[in-house]
Amino acid sequence: MGAARRHPPGTLFSSKSLSIGVNSLRYYLERIGAVAHTFLLEAGRWILQGHWLNREGPPIPVKGRILVAWNRDWYALVTKLTFPGSERPDLTFQYRGHFAADDRRYSFVLQHSELGRVEGEGWIAPGSIVQRYWVLGDKKKRRTGFETLNQLSDDRYYMSSSVMSGHYLSSTMEASVQRQVQK
């Protein structure tokens, strides 16, 4: 992947990044006075750092890297999480997603190293990106998940995520997500 491009203030992303419905999302965000999002809507590299909590046990540190890439109106997102000083195995996530015609909602498929095949949906809100997902073919455990990325600045978000089994939380993560500066 090439270096992430920064766009002039007032633009969400380049026409090469997303070819349909850009004006509707831009109009919506400007109308409500929201800051344009950079995570997910622009290609780039991000660094994640925070804590992971399982149902039993103390919080453990988590670090990760996220790569967002665009090809026309489809995005790909790859994440790798590591747990320094812990025996917990690394986690990898490989997303492929598409924005709806109104450009505020999106859907995705995900290959998760622990959960397997996953589908989900997300919304671009004025100050956050919210998504939920469900594990395919998982009728016994009924595992689902939820993530919120609250925008702190153009280059920084705060993520809160959780995986549930039925009606119970099985794990959660809280982390800062920072855009990696290209050199």
Grouping H, G, I as helix, E, B as strand and the rest as coil, residue 122 is strand
Instruction: Tell me the pLDDT band of 170, cut-offs 50, 70 and 90.
Output: very high
Q: What are phi and psi of 80, to 5 degrees?
A: -130, 125
72 domain-assigned: yes
Q: What are phi and psi of 95, to 5 degrees?
A: -100, 155
For the chain, give percent helix, strand, coil, nearest 5.
5, 55, 40
Which of the residue ranges 19-23, 123-127, 129-133 has the most confident prediction, judged by mean pLDDT? 129-133
pTM of the model: 0.81
CA 37: distance to chain centroid?
12
116 domain-assigned: yes
Domain containing residue 86: 22-179
159 domain-assigned: yes
Tokens of 53: 């909590």
39 domain-assigned: yes
**pLDDT at position 32 over 90:** no
Q: What is the CATH number of the domain that holds 105?
A: 2.40.128.20
3 domain-assigned: no
C-alpha separations of 151 from 98, 124, 157 in Å: 21, 11, 4
Grouping H, G, I as helix, E, B as strand and the rest as coil, residue 112 is strand
**pLDDT tens string 91-124:** 999 999 998 776 789 999 999 999 999 999 999 9
C-alpha separations of 74 from 95, 109, 124, 138 in Å: 10, 12, 16, 27
Residues in the chain: 183
17 domain-assigned: no
How many domains does the chain divide into?
1
4 domain-assigned: no
Q: Which residue has the higher pLDDT, 29 or 103?
A: 103
Quick one: pLDDT at residue 15? 38
47 domain-assigned: yes
Quick one: pLDDT at residue 41? 86
Quick one: pLDDT at residue 12? 40
